[in-house]
Amino acid sequence: MSDSTRTAVATAALVSVPVTTMWIAPDSPRTVDAPITADSPDAERWLAGLDARPEDDESGDGRLGLHGRIESQLVAGEPVRVVGADESGRWSRVVAPWQLSPKDDAGYPGWVPTAHLSPVAAGESPATESVAGAPVATVDAATLDAEHPALALAREHLGLLYLWGGLTPLGLDCSGLVHHTWRRFGIVVPRDAYAQAEFAEPVALDAVAPGDLYFFARPGRRIHHVGIVVRPGRMVHASETGGVLVEEDLTADRIDTLVVAGRLPRP
Task: Judge whether 148 counts as a catalytic residue.
Answer: no
CB atoms within 10 A of CB 9: 7
Residues listed for the chain: 267
Kind plus residue range of the DSSP H or E element containing 44:
helix 43-51
Bridge partners (DSSP) of residue 172 are 162, 167
User: Of 148, 174, 179, 180, which is the active-site residue?
Assistant: 174
User: Of 116, 179, 180, 237, which is the active-site residue?
Assistant: 237
CB atoms within 10 A of CB 179: 29
Task: Say how far apart CA 140 and CA 197 lie, in whole Å.
Answer: 28
Who's near 187: CB < 8 A, 6+ residues apart?
Answer: 131, 264, 265, 267
Task: Say how far apart CA 64 and CA 56 lie, in whole Å.
Answer: 9
The identity of residue 41, as a single letter, is P
Task: Judge whether 225 counts as a catalytic residue.
Answer: yes
Task: Judge whether 237 counts as a catalytic residue.
Answer: yes
DSSP code string of 200-266: SEEE-GGG--TT-EEEE--TTS---EEEEEEETTEEEEE-TTTSBEEEEEPPHHHHHHEEEEEEPPP
State how far Cα 96 lies from the chain centre: 11
Active site residues: 174, 225, 237
